[in-house]
Amino acid sequence: MAEPPESQPSLVRRLGPFDVTMLVMGGIIGSGIFVNPAEVARHVHTPLLIVGVWLIGGLIAIAGAFVYAELAARRPSVGGQYAYLRDAWGPVPAFLYGWSLLLVIQSGGMAAVAITFSRYFLDLTHLGVHESVPAVAALVLLTAINCLGVRAGGTVQTVLMVLKIGAIIMLVLCGLLLAQAFPASADAPPPPAPPLGTLAAIGAALTPVMFAYGGWQTSSFVAGEMRDPRRDLARGLLFGVIGVVTLYALVALTCVVVLGPAGLAASPTPATAVMRLALGETGATLIALGIAISALGFLSQGMLTTPRVYFAMAEDRLFFRGIAAVHPKTHAPIAAILLQGAAATVIALSGTYGQILSYVVSVDFIWFAMTGAALLVFRRRDPAPASFQVPGHPWTTLFFVVACAVTVIGTIWNHPVNSAIGFLILLAGVPVCLWWLRRRKLGA
């Protein structure tokens, strides 16, 4: 990133290693882990496979963390993944990544989580308002906080992340120590499926697992505001992802021990069911509070990190120049933050966020695969060792890229119509990108 003139305000480096680790974990852990174990149990039916699928997904996530850690060491740039795609594949794929983030992936995800937060918040408070009211209020509040600067946004994110971890630990300890374990004899597994059937079931179960693990890449967006991005982002990615894998596996184990495979598969809210068995209605209330905090923490992380992609696009003159404006006092990209808050709010109010999210399932993992492949490009261009290197490269990197590609293929196979709509939304950005490139060439 070029140094701006002294009179021009710029982003400042205020995030340390603990902040980065909390950002990584906060970008991954949303409200899904409290629900997704049931979705996994509907595809695979034995305790070993239910927990094992989460560990398989964890291995893919750890491989991805290794890849992103080396990318961070080689490209400690504002915009993170956007910068990796730009430097490896050119401006068009990078722009389309930002385009899909703004229109669907990040804004739609934040809208969906905001509604989740609202539903649990209303269950706890019994306020007689529409669910869109607390959702929009949460988005507006977090937008305002992040406009105060990266230090304010990072502090709020860290506090919410610590509370989120506390809620998960509470679920695990109460489930394993206070709730009565489900008798294995009462929930016998179905007969073994043929090998191909088992593999297909594992593949289907991996879809919600991989989505639950997604999000570590968003911490790279704020690399330009880390004190030492080469060191801190690499460490934060590794510690954060490993921490999440541990928590997720413990939650899956707790749910299957307490509810049994069939009971877990039948429960729409397994975390609530576990806590109700452990502590009665008090437990159900406590976990509802934990889920609301977890959803709020995800929103806080998204509002802090993703606007830096739009900022980087504007710096590259592939977006409105005003989006690259930095407030002289807070050193925050306020215009980019307001854009993200507005987009998420509009989708939350539209009521179509769930449908929109299903459009981009395959598109999201295309970017993961292309970003992993970017490391192969950078290694070929510059074989000199970076401050962090992927263990087992190129096999580890190829494992991550292939796993993401398989996820894309599986999603297209299972949801062809929604995948096609996702690709149409993505391709709609091509003429927009070409227009911005033409403006840049003409010096407009």
Is 7 part of a structural domain of the chain? no
Task: Give pLDDT, residue 327.
Answer: 80
Residue 136 · residue 236 · CB < 8 Å: no
Count of domains for the chain: 1
54, 109, 26, 61: which is closest to 264 by C-alpha? Answer: 54
Go through 196-235 and write b for each residue having 16 or more CB atoms within 10 A of its CB, e for each that does not: eeeeebbbbbbbbbbbbbbbbbbbbbbbbbbebbbbbbbb
What pLDDT was estimated at residue 133? Answer: 92
Residue 6 lies in a domain: no
The per-residue pLDDT of the chain, averaged, comes to: 84
Residue 10 lies in a domain: no
pLDDT mean over 76-84:
80
The answer to whether the beta carbons of residues 259 and 41 sit under 8 Å apart is no
For residue 356, the model assigns a pLDDT of 57
Q: What is the mean pLDDT of residues 138-152?
A: 86
State yes or no: pLDDT of 191 exceeds 60.
Answer: no
Decide: 201 and 296 in contact? Cβ < 8 Å. Answer: no
Q: Which amino acid is at 74?
A: R
Residues contacting residue 441 through CB under 8 Å, at least 6 positions apart: none
Residue-wise pLDDT tens digits, 5-21? 445 566 666 677 888 88
Grade residue 354 by pLDDT with cuts at 50, 70 and 90: low
Output the pLDDT for position 196.
46
Single-letter amino acid code for the residue at 235: R
Instruction: Evaluate whether 110 touches 439 at the Cβ level (below 8 Å).
Output: no
Q: Is residue 321 part of a domain?
A: yes
Judge whether 297 lies within some domain.
yes
Q: Would you place residue 179 in the very low, low, confident or very high pLDDT band (cuts 50, 70, 90)? A: confident
Token pair listed for 219? 């911490």
Output the six-digit token pair for 89.
Answer: 């594949």
Q: Pick the more confident residue, 186 or 366.
A: 366
Residue pLDDT, tens place only, 279-323: 999 999 999 899 889 888 888 888 888 898 898 899 889 998 899
Q: Establish if 5 belongs to a structural domain.
A: no
* Domain-embedded: residue 3: no
What is the SS3 assignment for 226? Answer: strand
4 in a domain, yes or no?
no
* Most confident of the ranges 12-26, 43-57, 347-361: 43-57
Residue 306: domain span: 17-184+192-442
What is the separation of C-alpha 306 from the centre of its chain, rounded to a whole number of angstroms? 11
Predicted confidence at residue 4, as pLDDT, reads 47
Please give the radius of gyration of the chain, using alpha carbons only, rounded to the nearest integer. 21
In this model, does residue 187 exceed pLDDT 70?
no
What is the CATH number for 86?
1.20.1740.10
Question: Residue 226 pairs with which residues in a beta bridge?
Answer: 15
Predicted pLDDT of residue 171: 93
